[in-house]
Amino acid sequence: MMIFVVMMAFLFALSLGSHVADLHAALPGILWMAFLFAGMIGMGKTFANEVREEALTGLILAPGDKIAIYLAKLTGAFVFMVLIEIVSTPLFLEVFQVPWRGPWTLWLLILALGAAGFVEVGTLLSTMSVHTSSGDLILTMLLLPLEIPVMIMTVQATRDLLTLTRAGFWLWIHGLIAYDAIFWVLPLMLYDYVWEV
């Protein structure tokens, strides 16, 4: 995943040339596109360890609330995604010749909310597709449309942070919080049913 993100940074920077204005304008979109596709590679592997010998069934039959399995997978995916973002964002800024702007706490906020939105939807869909024969296809087909709102809001918030447009920035952040909240609650309501899909 990390190699993919680094490759995206260098390929797009090279193809856009040395026009600083072009590089600055393109950065938010390319940054989040790299995270989206890197995250999709990771999401396809969410239950890879459980598939071959159906270990997931053993986990489901263990005592305790089944939601713990989802939350554990979600936490793992979130931590992994945030780590990739934290490592690669400075690299993107450097390669795209964009000066660091805005407090680091606001950068962390965007990265965390964007990662949460992505992995919440991704983990839910991974769970639903794990027992289906064409799971990877279903995951890709459903994940991309559902991630469109997250991508729009994170790209806009990143752009506003880079241009120091505070009013617009908070609007997108509130939108992200609402989206994340919806996909935090939805799996908690659906999860018992999801296992039998």
Partner 1 sequence: MAKEITGPILRALTLCKTIGAHAVLREVSFSMERGSGLAIMGPNGAGKSTLLKVLSGLWAPSGGELWRFGRRIGDETSSDQRVVLLGHHSFLYPSLTAFENLLFYAHLWGLRKARQRVVEVLRQVDLLWAQNDLLQTFSRGMVQRAALARVLLADAQLLLLDEPYTGLDGAGRQLLDRILGDQKRTGRSFILASHDEDDVMRVADAVALLVGGRMVWWSYTDKLRPEQLQRVCRGDYDKEGA
Q: Are 42 and 80 in contact (CB under 8 A)?
A: yes
Q: Which residues are at the interface with partner 1 (CB under 8 A)?
A: 49-50, 52-55, 57-64, 66, 192, 195-196
The answer to whether the beta carbons of residues 35 and 85 sit under 8 Å apart is: yes
Are 156 and 168 spatial neighbours (Cβ–Cβ below 8 Å)? yes
| Nearest alpha carbon to residue 180 among 81, 91, 101 | 81
Output the smallest distance, CB 134 to partner 1, in A: 16
Smaller CB distance to partner 1: residue 22 or 192?
A: 192
Task: Report whether 108 contacts 82 (CB < 8 A).
Answer: no
Instruction: Decide whether 58 or 90 has the Cβ nearer to partner 1.
Output: 58
Q: Compute the least distance from the CB of residue 63 to partner 1, in Å.
A: 5
For the CA atoms of 47, 155, 169, 71, the dihedral, rounded to the nearest 10 degrees, stands at: 0
Residue type, 26: A
Which C-beta is closer to partner 1: that of 64 or that of 145? 64
Nearer to partner 1, 80 or 195 (CB): 195
Shortest distance in whole angstroms from residue 192 CB to partner 1: 6
- From the CB of 69, what's the least distance to partner 1, in Å? 10
